Structure 1
């Protein structure tokens, strides 16, 4: 029987049976949990489509707006700058107000601001709106990370894996739809459409999402002292550094993959979008698979994370040696599998390390650190590529992130109790 350890916040861990499998809670037998998962998944999907939509049309639209190559990543950086700031506050408010309220408060203004971005006519205006969009979306992740542990205990890793398919599927949808839609109807109308759909899903969230099973008592109110105590949790600190390094490369590639292939090798934007879409397909397959494996008794989530991050580093370097559309098509799905596959395993470890009661706050501040890598990476890669025009240097710069993440994971306790 696996030994249960109390979490650093004094919360009791979940019960394990004599054969090493975690026993089901009342939430694990409630069919509504799949409805809750779908609602937060779709919200995360729409939020991420909005994030990467600019990257799919940055090269041609940026030229029409008079934006230099080195500044094409400025909008992405602005979005993540706002997103990082909102995650800290949003995570704590999620624990206070509940996941449904915070997710609604994220989606409704995000829809309005995305619609407004379609009227962008200058770099300055676009940066301001993107930063506001990021701030509006800042609570979507922590809200989902609050809802999922409330409804999933025994198979939380699988739920996290399914939840995070939203980001990789968003890459597929954005690259498959936004460039072609923009070519037919204009890029402004593409953002108008995204804004309307996002706002509508905010209404769905408000009406249909439930914070927890009806037979589960409302958790004790968290104090600011409890939340600040998370900042001293060694496991969360190491996981924060690891996630920051991983997302440095994941978001950096998502932001620059299309433009780099178009600028360096003359690949048409629609073809580049198709290549990055195949990158997303690999991630869609890998995430739930790795999440499910991480739930199995005796499987080390820590070692799974390390292995995936090492493979991610290597795949980025291999991609840097490619030069033709055929080669990119071969490598992209493999790169996608590793560039997103580590996420559900890291997320499950964050939830395990903090416990359900502080799931929102822990998700918020760890994700704020994770997304700092997302905020800085596009600008750094853009500046380096603008100065050197070296495709390989851009990929090496991205690969530094997961390499650092591997080192950080060795400081995570291998025996975190799975609450």
Structure 2
């Protein structure tokens, strides 16, 4: 079940990452100038953030399997549609639809995984699950250039779209909710508040959301701006800058599961997350002082390890902080809030660099996010006043047992 959730998330991550290596060629075909290509990515992320905020509700109501299937099917279908588009206006609209469908997979995957793993084992599970985003970037940046050289950018979108639909069918046939139930601790005479009120008044969940916002500020600020900062600030070639960022992201494919396992080993996700966020902030500042490519390449994998390593730990905390019946809402809402950081940080770092013309100043501004996240996380009770009921079983599991 974990591997299928991971495969589904990998496919939606590949779908998202296909735009990067294909964008220039799409622009040439559709007559879109280079400066305007960002509109396609913006449209995608608008759909993605809206989906994260909304479809967690569907995961809680209809089940993770159904939402994963719809997510992959819809994203795959519109990937194929985008591969056949000849209009820039239509292309932008289709990207928004792809983003909306692809964004639904995250919350549904977390809900399913949390139903199969005890809270004490969620670190390793979420470590593998979240490694999908990094692996998707690696796959897209490896396969898409080859597809373009031998066929066309259209072929890459059609290929990944078809694979997404095949994965959707596989998930629908095999995926099932598990027996693990987590219930919020409350006395018998207390009435259950509405789901959204429960989330908003959950102090620890709100703090984790703020901490993740700070982490994403550093991570995606680096991913979005590092190429330009390296080229403009230090005169690094475009090829070398791209390779440095690839090393940064590639490290996370292995690093996320290992860090998740560490959290399980010490029976805490909060403590290692705080350490990692502090290290992330410090290494960002240190990275900003470097100016030689060999040194940058040495530091990049270490930066990638801490730059992504906090994520599986934060994700593992979410099912521990809320009841199983609202895990989808919690996962979707927190990720939507985290993604807002990735839309704001490009503007902030651009303004800092424009005002100071300083590579170091830009990286100091990036480091503020993870440092603030570490401070916020210090005040989180990762058990959240909830109690896991490992012996509880879903109704379907009870029926099967009888």
TM-score, with structure 2 as normaliser: 0.82
Counterpart of 2:314 in 1: which secondary structure? helix
Match of 1:356 in 2: 324
1:277 to 239, 246, 254: 246
| Correspondence for 1:229 | 198
**Structure 1 unpaired stretches of 5+:** 1-35
Q: Deviations over 1:172-230 (max 9, x none)?
A: 223333334334433333223222222221111112211225xx79x9xxx88134311
Three-state SS of the structure 2 residue aligned to 1:115 is helix
Distance 1:136 1:41 in 2: 17
**Shift in Å at residue 248 of structure 1?**
2.7
Counterpart contact for 1:162–1:287, Cα < 8 Å: yes
Structure 1 residue corresponding to 2:130, chosen from 164, 174, 178: 164
Name the SS of the counterpart of 1:139 in structure 2. Answer: helix
- Please point out which of 148, 152, 161 is paired with 1:182: 148
Q: What stretches of structure 2 of length at least 5 have no aligned partner?
A: 184-191, 389-402
For the residue of structure 1 that corresponds to 2:115, the secondary structure is helix
**How big is the shift at 1:361?**
1.5
Per the alignment, in what secondary structure is the counterpart of residue 138 of structure 1? helix
Q: What is the deviation of 1:77?
A: 3.2
1:234-249, aligned counterparts within 5 Å? 234-249=203-218
Counterpart for residue 102 of structure 2: 137
Distance in 1, matches of 2:375 and 2:296, equals: 29
Pair 1:97 & 2:65 matched: no
Of 296, 309, 332, the residue aligned with 1:341 is 309
User: Structure 1 residue 354: deviation in Å?
Assistant: 0.6
Q: What's 1:308 paired with?
A: 276
The separation in 1 between residues aligned to 2:4 and 2:231, in whole angstroms, is 36
Say if 1:287 and 1:316 are closer, same or farther in 2 by CA, change over 3 A: same
Query: Does the 8 Å contact 1:79/1:375 carry over to 2?
Result: no
CA distance 1:234–1:407, shift in 2 (3 Å)? same
Summarize deviations over 1:7-60 as a string: whole Å, max 9, x none: xxxxxxxxxxxxxxxxxxxxxxxxxxxxx1011101111112222332345567
Whole-angstrom CA distance in 2 between matches of 1:45 and 1:206: 16
Q: Could you tell me how far apart the structure 2 residues matched to 1:192 and 1:136 are?
A: 16
Supply the distance in 1 between the matched residues of 2:350 and 2:24 (Cα, whole angstroms): 12
Q: 1:42 to 1:240 in 2, by over 3 A?
A: same
CA distance in 2, matches of 1:377, 1:254: 11
- The one-character-per-residue Cα deviations of 1:84-136 (angstroms, maximum 9, x if unpaired) are 21122211110110000011111111112223333566765444332222211
Q: Does the 8 Å contact 1:244/1:371 carry over to 2?
A: yes
TM-score (norm 1): 0.79
State how far apart, in whole Å, the 2-side matches of 1:144 and 1:268 are.
36
Partner residue in 2 for 1:115: 80
Q: CA deviation at 1:144?
A: 0.8
Matches within 5 A, 1:171-210: 171-210=137-176
Aligned length: 377
Paired residues of 1:74 and 1:379 also in contact (CA < 8 A)? no
Asked whether the 8 Å contact 2:227–2:238 carries over to 1, the reply is no
CA gap 1:314/1:236 in 2 versus in 1, 3 angstroms: same
Find 2:256's aligned residue among 287, 308, 311: 287
Task: Give the 3 Å change call, closer, same or farther, for CA 245–370 of structure 1 in structure 2.
Answer: same
Q: Contact 1:73–1:255 at 8 Å: present in 2 too?
A: no
| C-alpha spacing 1:127/1:379, structure 2 compared with 1 (3 Å) | farther
Q: Is the 8 A contact 1:159 1:291 kept in 2?
A: yes
Separation in 1, partners of 2:50, 2:126: 24
Cα deviation code 1:302-335 (max 9, x no counterpart): 2211111112222333333444543332222111
What RMSD over aligned residues (CA atoms) do the two structures have, in Å?
3.2
